[in-house]
A and B are shown apart, each in its own frame.
Chain A
């Protein structure tokens, strides 16, 4: 959970990041060209992209808000809803599908009592999905907080979630 203080900090950091790109004097094409990387940075800082953040970016890059929103909504990677502390991403690429990824998801849904895309009440876990992290040889694969788990079986699911109790 972000305290207002850390939120201010995040906005300041984002502002500095945008300033360092030195596109203020560029034409629209030049400012637009950095939009996606700015959104990546913003999502790193805020964990998702709420409206205020999108408005802030639009103002800083001097782009229309509708354009920023259009880009945010186009790409799966950008999230506009608040997520839990940890997002557990199940790979739903072909290799993982063939090796039983859906069974893992069912198990996790049952265990947490939520569906794909939802967040647990305590705000700890969000269940998400990815399309292939390129570790297909280890299928099925899940990713939590940048860590990749390969050759996951249904029975390992509780233990893996337990690692993120704290």
Chain B
């Protein structure tokens, strides 16, 4: 493919690619899900086996595609097969053996054994906007994206729309930031457009720090070009010529695919100087994170791109006014950006028709933990938690009722089963003491200890606190110590009040979003599962009891001599007994007994 220098050339290329695809209407397509999760489940040997079988049977007219993840992570490796003129058939738990079989079945009567039904509730309830291409094209081939109409929205904006029009469309659509805050994206762009300081920058936040969320990884690995196109659009809208993608170092495959995508877009002239002859130039580079949760926070992220310690600063000034090197910087999350192109394609009214009044569109959720169908789902905003967990997620693994779900990661809270009829929206989750966050849904089964979960999150926060502000650095440490006492059975009832008081102070006084939300897991579990805390404390307060096993006691009297009270009765060579009402639980007898005749409970 040659470099495209005119808008018409992009259109012509798309038409050619589509015609090629149509000419190959007799072509079957086999998609193997090859994201990090697929590869870890063994997708590579499956791909090789299918390729070998195709060669062996000399099958013509088949395109074997290394695609992204369709989200059915619980049955990976997955293979999707599209026979000419037929709907896609999805197959799960495919082994290399099964892969070879699939080829035979395909060239046989075209009927596959045990495919997933396409009418599966899991699919029917979903609406795919951000994930629309994931698993349906090869992320390492720009031609696939162009064939699907890729970069047409950018071309349209550059030649037909004023930057203000682009902003208006995004604003009208009511798109809100999917990185957690829910700030109106159009408004953010408008602020950046109005900022004076040049040059301006676009930043894609691909730090995905919430452990348990992986939708951004899936978009980057499955459809990187949609993010690049949206960044260029954002650049055109706000008047920036350069962008950065800040990606966590734990995502090597995402980084690799982004690098390939950026290279191919440059080669084709869709990034770089004078894009398609429009006079607009935009380029970008990838910046790697280095394993610091706080770097997902936008001011910390900006410092990290500058090569500094990723410590946050007080807002305002907001990055839109003063960000990278003091210049206007627009920070958007991956999933937010993935919604931009579809909105420009189909219009703001279309986007608004999905989801709710206050939270239009869809949200991708990562279902993980004690749930049957772990994976990624994209559903309209306003769906209830129950629908997502039970109807799409298939309920808990052991079939028992789900106890709670954690949203928003370490900044969020646990929502109890009694509130599962709540529709998922930014505001409704906040009202329950949690947050939308990035969309990780960690499901807690019936035997999960909520006190342990809160303990886990606080340990995480203490570890990740950057140490700049005192409430977060020291407050969280104290909060953790109190909780640790309770977990170890040394807690007191007053501790619960202390947790609440201190938690409230930290929320009010911490510098950045990390500290301001870090007490949420403790406070929300205290609010909904207080009895578990009380039980843990009571269990700890109940003293250990010692008793003598008559069948093991030889009557050596060692315990009688050791007992300071004394409260042990018995005559020599006969089993002894402890008078429980007088025992002070010191354990001296237990330590002395050589015959393991004293038990501790």
Contact = CB atoms under 8 A, between A and B. Distances in A.
Interface of A: 29, 32-37, 39-40, 70-71, 74-78, 91-99, 130-139, 141, 146, 148-150
A150 B76 CA distance: 11
Taking each of B208, B291, B304, which has the highest tally of chain A beta carbons within 10 Å of its own beta carbon?
Answer: B291
Nearest to B216: A134
Contact of B40 (A35, A75, A132, A141): A141
Interface in B166-213: 208-213
Contact of A29 (B289, B304, B325, B444): B325
Contacts of A149: 40
What secondary structure prevails in chain A residues at the interface with B? mixed
Contact of B290 (A40, A91, A99, A139): A40
Given A34-B307, A136-B374, A98 B40 contact: no
What secondary structure prevails in chain B residues at the interface with A? mixed
Contact of B41 (A93, A96, A98, A150): A150
B370 A98 contact: yes
B136 to A, nearest CB: 19
Nearest to A63: B307
A134 B36 contact: yes
B460 A131 contact: yes
Taking each of A77, A78, A92, A141, which has the highest tally of chain B beta carbons within 10 Å of its own beta carbon?
Answer: A77
Nearest to A28: B307
A152 to B, nearest CB: 10
8 contacts: A29-B306, A33-B306, A77-B290, A94-B369, A94-B406, A99-B369, A131-B209, A138-B37
Contacts of A93: 211-212
Interface stretch (B248-256, B428-436, B529-537): B248-256
A102 to B, nearest CB: 9
Given A29-B306, A37-B287, A134-B208, A150 B448 contact: no
A131 B307 contact: no
Interface string B362-403: 000011111000111000000000000000000000000000
A38 B460 CA distance: 28
A94 B440 CA distance: 10
A132 B39 contact: no
Contacts of A130: 250, 291
Contacts of B460: 131
A137 B290 contact: no
B214 interface: yes
B79 to A, nearest CB: 17
A95 B369 contact: yes
Given A76-B292, A134-B214, 10 more contacts: A70-B309, A75-B292, A91-B211, A93-B211, A94-B409, A95-B440, A132-B250, A134-B217, A136-B214, A150-B40
Given A74-B292, A95-B211, A95-B369, A138 B307 contact: no
A138 B72 CA distance: 11
Nearest to B311: A74
B308 interface: yes
Nearest to A38: B307
A150 B214 CA distance: 15
B307 A35 contact: yes
Contacts of B292: 74-77
Nearest to A148: B40
Contacts of A91: 211
A29 B324 CA distance: 11
B250 A134 contact: yes
Taking each of B73, B214, B251, B368, which has the highest tally of chain A beta carbons within 10 Å of its own beta carbon?
Answer: B368
A77 B466 CA distance: 14
A71 B309 CA distance: 5
Contacts of B466: 74
B310 A74 contact: yes
A134 B290 contact: no
Given A130-B250, A131-B211, A137 B76 contact: yes
Taking each of A37, A71, A136, A141, which has the highest tally of chain B beta carbons within 10 Å of its own beta carbon?
Answer: A136
B249 A98 contact: no
Contact of B368 (A74, A75, A77, A136): A136
Contacts of B367: 137
Given A75-B290, A94-B406, A137 B39 contact: no
